[in-house]
Amino acid sequence: MTRLFTVLCLLAITVSVWAANEPAPAPSAAAYDQWTQSCLQGLEQDMPQITRSAEMAAARYVTDETCEIGVKGEHTFAFEGTYRSGGLIRLRKPFSDDDARLAPVKIILFALREDHLGVDAAISQEYHQAGRMVIAFGEAGVVQRYRNAGGYADSVVNTHAAPHDGLFRVADGGWMVPTVPVANTAAFWTWMGEFVGACTRQGKMPPMYQGFCVKGGFARFEKLQDLKFHPEPPQLAPAGALGRAYLQGLRANLAEIREGEMADIRRAAAMLAQANAAGHGAYAFLHGHAVFRENLQGPHRPRLLTKINDDWFHQRDDMPLQAGDAVLCLGFDMVFQGEKWGHFAERARTVGATPIWCLTSYEDHDPSTPPAAELVDPQYTTADIATIPPDEILIDQRWRVGDAVVEVPGYDVKILPTSGVVAEAILWMVTAELAGLRPRE
Amino acid sequence: MIRYLLLVILITVGLSAFALSLPVTPTTPLPAPYARVYDAWLQISLNDLERDLPAITAAADLAAARVVHAKTKIGFDGEAAFLNDRGYRVGGLLATDWCNFDNEPALAEIGIVLIAPRTEHYALDLAKIKDYRAHGKMVIAFGAPDMLKRLRKDGARVDAVVTTHPAPGNGLFRTAAGAPIVVTEPVANVAALWVWTGEFIAACTRRGVMPEIMQAGWNPFDARTHKPTPSPSAPVPAGQYGHAYLQAVRQQFAAVRARELPQLAAVAETLAAARRQQRQIALFSVANIPLNYQKSVPADPGYFTPITMQWFDAPEQVTLTKGDLLLCIAPVALYQGDNWQRFAEKMRERGTTLVWMVGATPAEELATLPTEELVMKQHWSLPDAAITMAGTELAILPTSGVVTEAMFQMLNAELAGRLESISLPSAGKGGR
């Protein structure tokens, strides 16, 4: 028995040493994409736990008519889900602990922050003492450290971020190119799908957004904004169905990018690297619910790109573009041109800077539905990707009009968007590729 | 040192005795006796703050030294009035933000944190202080002596402290059950905040720099609306701005004391009568200090139902009807007309009685109020600043936050005196 135990211990040690010595992948867009696939696979495997967590929340949300649901924590997670095409209309944004608007928020979806676990633990204890349900989202190791710090959770969703957040090992022993933004947003929408499904099984359908960029989306919102549930009883969605459908839709979106856009992702990184090497600026103009909050300076960010905007539509005045600069322009379906955007694209071209576009074109729109131009509302979007000159790079995000991929049986619109995950994934793929091109020190 | 301590004790005991000697029963011929006690506490608290000026200057010097070396934002955290009165204030610092852990990129831009820890969120605020320090931020803690001592005991290392002077247990009075009631911490914190800010600006001038000051007409989110902040003609000596700020607050309170107490008593009587008749009394306030937070503070009596939801948004659901009362705290504009979605008019149409606490509202606008609506005045005027910097036209350090918060609490004190059996706690040094 003792001998067997010793052998097992030796085996375990050997495996650990082997694992520890396994060479970390070299930074590249492909390696990042590969990790993304493994993350989604992990989420799919965890579907039973995700469903249970969502069912627990739905039971409270449905039975307690004063109960609202809100988000908290890591900034990508905290800003991705609110006011979002395909998302829950009543989802509450993060509120500070003295804000009166926090009072009805009795279910908190809480994305843990590896750098602030002591604070997260203290917040969770306050929520728990106030009778709130806490659903913690985080990578397994982070969740363990959170628990060790006294953190409370009614249930946990493993996001399958890389263990150190950063995917690639760097010379100083650190890890770079973050995975948390992608993992958190993917886990959030998967959970939300299961939450909606669980509500239907409780006999209720919560109102979900249709994007305002779709004709009729805003008018629909105005009708639904004060409702907690649709008055009509919904068709039941089986456990796991909506979460899996979301992951399937997301995988399909990412697969299109892998197959159709990877060459442009590499070209974009090369152009940004070239600008860097020549002493010009390598910038990013980030426009989107979660990605707008990214400053490219935090932990695990290799700081190879400089963010050039601090509001949604305008470039910073203190960072004027110059000839030779390159700017990754990451947004939704609008070119950053015209008055609304402070004529960003026009000014960039005039001074000899190069915009690199990362938007959705709607070009691969489902042929069974009307053309994209007939579906979008010109009051909310210009959808003018066709105006991009052919010599400028366009990384097509390849999500469809309405930005929602899951059909709920009997519901009038599709739900759950992919654009948030896709935008983050492309940003970090470009960054990974750029890091791989950086001259070795 | 012992002599100094004795002096402090004598002053404190003397002032406390003065406060205690004020009549606190409703039978007094003087109007607003409970508000007078609150006012007396405030004067003591401001005196204590003035005595602490050298320590406040030192804390401000420390922060100024860091700002001079590296451009950084000053972050605020903790007690709600302290947190909110600093923001987007004409005459206040521009490069400030609240410490939002849900927005890590914004949090990372903050290099100096001013925090006023809260008893009711103590574990969280302690964890935050440790987190700030672990992330290399300078931490300056604002709090009563007991709070600062407790933080030290629990291992919270801070770079400097500013001692504030609330009443023991936060509440100025005690209910029959011995519970503290009518909060003092918000007023004490906001006063300390602006004294520190004045000393910080002065400390920067002594280092040859001038921090950006928020000026009228600026959009804090759009640098294109900002013009360079003028510098004073000479470095400002230590203690000067802090002292001047305290003087300005004292003067405003002298005006409130001289002219508003009968009106404040009349408003309290009206509100108390409505409450005795089981009517709702509600609060609508679009000011920097979000007076609706106080439900979460144990010493707040909770007489008012806050109905303000967001700045400039009409409340989502107003349940007020005929016979209910609504206190409108209006710093500048009255909540009438299209700009306010006819809020006041709609309330009147419902039969709700409005009472007003107004700041720098122009007289001609005040004249539009129906004569039956009671009005209390806060006695500050635009540009809402204690100081005009020498050699410039730059007005800094607003007093309206302290005045608004204190007058609101004076009203709470009068209500508590009418609705409950309250008394002063046994005399003693403030702080918890």
Condensed to tens digits (0 to 9), the pLDDT of residues A370-412 reads: 888 889 999 999 889 999 999 999 999 999 999 999 999 999 9
Q: pLDDT at position B27, please?
A: 52
Which pLDDT score is estimated for A19? 43
Binding-face residues of A in 370-429 toward B, CB within 8 A = none
Q: In the prediction, which pLDDT does B338 show?
A: 87
The answer to whether the Cβ–Cβ distance between A115 and B135 falls below 8 Å is: yes
Q: What is the pLDDT of residue A211?
A: 93
* Opening angle at CA A431, ends A425 and A436, nearest 5: 125
Pick from A74, A113, A119: CB nearest B127? A119
**pLDDT, position B310:** 52
Say yes or no: B122 contacts chain A, CB-CB below 8 A. no
User: How far off is chain A from B250, nearest CA to CA, in Å?
Assistant: 29
- pLDDT: is B155 or B319 the higher one? B155
Tell me if A298 and B223 make a contact (CB, 8 A cut-off): no
Phi, psi of A306 (to 5 degrees): -115, 130
Reduced to 3 states (helix: H, G, I; strand: E, B; else coil), residue B363 is helix
Bridge partners for A47 per DSSP: none
C-alpha atoms less than 13 angstroms from C-alpha of A320 in its C-beta half-sphere: 4
CB pair distance less than 8 Å for A94 and B80: no
Return the percentage of chain B with pLDDT > 90, whole number: 61
Q: Looking at the partner chain, which of A73, A97, A116 has a beta carbon nearest the beta carbon of B121? A: A97
Q: Predicted ipTM?
A: 0.84
Q: What's the mean per-residue pLDDT of chain B?
A: 86
Is the minimum CB–CB distance between B155 and chain A shorter than 8 Å?
A: no
Cα of first residue to Cα of last residue in chain B, in angstroms, is 23
Note whether A94 contacts B: Cβ–Cβ < 8 A. yes
Question: Helix, strand or coil for residue B296?
Answer: helix
| B108·A98 Cβ contact <8 A | no
Question: Which of A224-238, A277-291, A352-366 is predicted with the least confidence, judged by mean pLDDT?
Answer: A352-366
3-state secondary structure chain A: CHHHHHHHHHHHHHHHHHHHHCCCCCCCHHHHHHHHHHHHHHHHHCHHHHHHHHHHHHHHHHHCCCCEEEEEECHHHHHHCCCCCCCECCCECCCCCCCHHHCCEEEEEEECCHHHHHHHHHHHHHHHHCCCEEEEEECHHHHHHHHHCCCCCCEEEECCCCCCCEEEECCCCCEEEECHHHHHHHHHHHHHHHHHHHHHHCCCCCCECCCCCECCHHHHHHHHCCCCCCCCCCCCCCCCHHHHHHHHHHHHHHHHHHHHCHHHHHHHHHHHHHHHHCCCCEEEEECCCCHHHCCCCCCCCCCCCEECECCCCCECCCCCCCCCCEEEEECCCCCCCCHHHCCHHHHHHHHCCEEEEEECCCCCCCCCCCCHHHHECCCCCCCCHHHCCCCCCEEECCCCCCCCCECCCCCCCCECCCHHHHHHHHHHHHHHHHHHHCCCC
Of B80, B221, B293, the CB nearest to A311: B221
Query: Chain A closest CA to B134's CA: distance in Å?
Result: 10
Cross-chain Cβ contact A100/B293 below 8 Å: yes
Q: How many angstroms separate the CA atoms of A72 and A90, rounded?
A: 15
How many A/B residue pairs have CB atoms within 8 Å?
74
- Opening angle at CA B411, ends B410 and B417, nearest 5: 90
Q: Does A20 lie at the interface with B, CB-CB under 8 angstroms? A: no
Question: Looking at residue B390, what is its pLDDT?
Answer: 86
Q: Give residue B297's pLDDT.
A: 79
- Asked if A293 lies within 8 A of B131 by C-beta distance, the reply is no
Q: Are B95 and B229 in contact (CB under 8 A)?
A: no
Is residue B3 very low, low, confident or very high in pLDDT (cuts 50, 70, 90)? very low
Q: Kind and range of the H or E element at B132?
A: helix B122-134
pLDDT of residue A31: 97
A116 → closest Cβ in B106, B131, B306: B131
Side-chain half-sphere exposure of A67, counting CA atoms within 13 A: 17
- Cβ of B127 within 8 Å of Cβ of A122? The answer is yes
Q: State the Cα torsion B204-B205-B207-B209 to the nearest 10°.
A: 80
Closest CA in chain A for residue B290:
A99
The arithmetic mean of pLDDT across residues B92-121, rounded, is 93
User: In this complex, do A293 and B296 lie within 8 Å of one another by their Cβ atoms?
Assistant: no
pLDDT at B307: 79
**For A321-342, how does the pLDDT look when each residue is reduced to its tens digit (9 = 90+)?**
999 999 999 999 999 999 999 9
pLDDT in tens, B382-424: 888 899 988 888 899 999 999 999 999 999 999 999 999 988 8
Asked which of A203-207, A248-252, B310-314, B323-327 is least confident by mean pLDDT, the reply is B310-314
User: How many CB atoms are closer than 10 A to CB A168?
Assistant: 23
Mean pLDDT on A241-248: 98
In terms of CA atoms, which chain A residue is nearest residue B120? Answer: A126
Please report which confidence band the pLDDT of residue B31 belongs to, taking 50, 70 and 90 as the band edges.
confident
Strand boundaries in B269-397, DSSP class E = 281-285, 305-306, 325-330, 353-358, 375-377, 387-388, 395-396
Handedness of CA A220, A225, A230, A234 (dihedral sign): positive
Q: How confident is the model at residue B308 (pLDDT cuts 50, 70, 90)?
A: low
Any B CB within 8 A of A112 CB: no
**Residue B15 predicted with pLDDT over 60:** no
Residue among B44, B89, B79 nearest B186 (CA)? B79
Task: List, for residues B225-264, the tens digit of each pLDDT value.
Answer: 777 788 887 899 999 999 999 999 999 999 999 999 999 9
8 Å CB contact of A75 and B121? no
β-strands A155-158, A68-73 pairing: unpaired
pLDDT at residue B428 in the model: 44
B108 touches chain A (CB under 8 A): yes
Q: For residue B306, list chain A residues with Cβ-Cβ distance below 8 A.
A: 100
Cβ–Cβ below 8 Å for B103 and A113:
no
Contact B127 A298 (CB under 8 A): no
If DSSP codes are grouped into helix, strand and coil, which group holds residue B47? helix
Contacts of B100 in chain A (CB under 8 A): 94, 96
For residue A109, list chain B residues with Cβ-Cβ distance below 8 A.
none
Which of these, B126, B132, B190, B182, lies nearest to B164 by C-alpha position? B190
Residue of B nearest to A294 (CA): B105
Q: What is the pLDDT of residue A314?
A: 92
CA distance A316 to chain B (A): 9
pLDDT, tens digit, 9 for 90 and up, residues B271-283: 999 999 999 898 8
| C-alpha distance from B368 to closest chain A C-alpha (Å) | 32
Instruction: Supply the pLDDT for residue B319.
Output: 77
Mean pLDDT of A353-372: 86
Residue of A nearest to B295 (CA): A100
More confident residue, A61 or A24: A61
pLDDT at A95 over 90: no
pLDDT at B226: 73
Any residues with CB less than 8 A from the CB of B70 and at least 6 apart, and which?
A: B111
Calpha distance B400→B86 (Å, rounded): 12
Per-residue DSSP letter, B392: S
Q: Which helix (H) or strand (E) holds B414?
A: helix B400-419
Contact assignment for A96 to B98 by CB distance below 8 Å: yes
B321 at interface of A, judged by CB pairs closer than 8 A: no
Task: Determine the pLDDT at residue B296.
Answer: 66
Q: Contact, B201 vs B241, CB < 8 A?
A: yes
CB neighbour list of residue B39: distance below 8 Å, 6 or more residues apart:
B253, B256, B257, B406, B410
**Per-residue pLDDT, B240:** 96
> How far A3 CA sits from the closest chain B CA (Å)?
46
pLDDT tops 90 at residue B68: no
Closest approach of B390 to chain A, Cα-based (Å): 30
Q: Are A195 and A187 in contact (CB under 8 A)?
A: no
Structure tokens that stand for A25 in this block: 């992948």
Higher per-residue pLDDT: B202 or B313: B202
Cα angle, residue A25 at apex, residues A21 and A27 outer, rounded to 5°: 140
**B103–A318 CB contact, under 8 Å:** no
How confident is the model at residue A15, as a pLDDT? 43
Place of tokens 């020549």: A278
Q: Kindly report, residue by residue over A180-198, the tens digit of the pLDDT.
A: 999 999 999 999 999 999 9
Q: What is the pLDDT of residue A18?
A: 42
Q: What is the pLDDT of residue B17?
A: 41
Q: Give CA–CA dist B41/B18, Å, rounded.
A: 10
Q: In whole angstroms, what is the distance from residue A212 CA to residue A210 CA?
A: 6
A355 touches A348 (CB < 8 A): yes
Q: Could you say which of B105, B121, B127 has the minimum Cβ distance to residue A75? A: B105
A96 interfacial to chain B (CB closer than 8 Å) = yes
| pLDDT at position A58 | 98
**DSSP 8-state symbol, B99:** -
Contact residues for A15 (Cβ-Cβ < 8 A; gap 6+): none
Q: pLDDT tens-digit profile of A137-156?
A: 999 999 999 999 999 999 99
> B128 touching A, CB under 8 A?
yes
| Option in B123, B223, B292 nearest A317 (CB) | B223
CA B135 to chain A, closest CA, distance in angstroms equals: 9
Q: Please judge whether B223 and A97 are an interchain contact, meaning their C-beta atoms are less than 8 angstroms apart.
A: no
| Mean pLDDT score, B44-72 | 95
Region A16-38: mean pLDDT is 76
Residue B36: predicted pLDDT = 95
Note the pLDDT of residue B74.
96
State residue B4's pLDDT score: 33
CB contact under 8 A, B295 and A100: yes
The pLDDT tens digits for A411-439 are: 999 999 999 999 999 999 999 999 999 87
Distance between CA A170 and CA A172 in Å, rounded?
6
Contact B272, B419 (CB under 8 A): yes
Q: Looking at chain A, which residue has its C-alpha nearest residue B105?
A: A295
Q: What is the pTM of this model?
A: 0.86
**pLDDT value, residue A3:** 58
Mean pLDDT over residues A227-237, rounded? 96
Q: Does A295 touch chain B (CB under 8 A)?
A: yes
Using a CB-CB cut-off of 8 Å, the residues of chain B touching A101 are 309
Chain-chain contact of B131 with A317 (C-beta, under 8 angstroms):
no
